[in-house]
């Protein structure tokens, strides 16, 4: 699912752009969530609270916090979100390069060009979908999915254990992590209320537990909860055959 923010103090234009984005996603058969902001300050505040976006459509000329100032704050939190500027003022192009814009669209927006840029953005996101992105302490981070050994939930904190021996953490629900990875057809097994394991790191398995390779650390054993044992074995068989569950 794409998460897209639209920031423009012309709310009529912002609403029209939101409709266009939704229509493009319907054509491309992409699920989407959109949020509309009337100024850069509100958008930045939303991201400081932990919101993450794949694409941000950002106007330059806004009264409270303009698009360029907002982009500098956004880039301090998130280096990967795609910024697409929409403005009637092209004299800002030189300043925009400092905040790494993905594309620039002039007002009034050319529909054909918008469609092409939107497809380009979706392709870029697809190309980087091998990353898992999360937010912690107002900072956006991402790690390669293939480097994740397993996720562990402890008192609303999700720990990510990586093959290089390091670990990351963020606040969230393991159910949400699992749903996201399933939608992206990543090969992870939910073996317990607290554990979500990367199939590629499983070395051995019996009915009640499995052993996973911890990269440069000793292998560890994780328990498969009793209520999940049958489902885990069925999913493991499907995954081994290259038919990962796509619920």
pLDDT value of position 148? 92
Query: How does residue 50 score in pLDDT terms, banded at 50, 70 and 90?
Result: confident
Q: What is the pLDDT of residues 169-193, one digit of tens each?
A: 999 999 999 998 888 778 899 999 9
pLDDT value of position 129? 57
CATH of domain 134-240: 2.40.50.1020
Domain ranges across the chain: 2-127, 134-240
Q: Which residues lie across from 103 on neighbouring strands?
A: 84
Q: Give the Cα separation of 1 and 4 in Å (integer).
A: 10
pLDDT value of position 128? 57
Domain 2-127 - what CATH class?
alpha beta
Sequential DSSP letters for 78-121: -SSSEEEEEES-GGGHHHHGGG--SEEEESSPPHHHHHHHHHHH
């Amino acid at each position: 699912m794409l998460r897209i923010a639209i920031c423009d103090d012309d709310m009529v234009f912002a609403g029209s752009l939101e409709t266009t984005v939704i229509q493009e996603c319907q054509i491309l058969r992409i699920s989407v969530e959109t949020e509309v902001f009337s100024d850069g300050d509100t958008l930045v505040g939303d991201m400081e609270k932990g919101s993450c976006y794949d694409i941000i459509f950002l106007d330059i000329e806004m009264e409270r916090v303009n698009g360029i100032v907002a982009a500098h704050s956004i880039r301090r939190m998130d280096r990967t979100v795609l910024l697409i500027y929409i403005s009637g003022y092209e004299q800002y192009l030189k300043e925009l390069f400092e905040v790494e814009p993905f594309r620039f669209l002039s007002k009034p927006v050319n529909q054909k060009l918008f469609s092409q840029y939107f497809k380009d953005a979706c392709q870029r996101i697809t190309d980087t979908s091998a990353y898992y992105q999360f937010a912690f302490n107002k900072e956006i981070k991402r790690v390669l999915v293939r480097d994740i050994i397993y996720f562990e939930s402890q008192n609303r904190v999700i720990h990510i254990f990586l093959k290089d021996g390091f670990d990351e953490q963020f606040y969230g629900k393991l159910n949400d992590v699992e749903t996201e990875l399933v939608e992206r057809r990543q090969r992870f097994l939910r073996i317990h209320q607290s554990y979500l394991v990367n199939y590629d790191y499983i070395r051995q398995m019996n009915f009640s537990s499995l052993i996973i390779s911890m990269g440069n650390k000793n292998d560890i054993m994780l328990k498969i909860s009793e209520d999940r044992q049958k489902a885990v074995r069925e999913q493991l068989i499907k995954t081994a055959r290259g038919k990962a569950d796509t619920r």
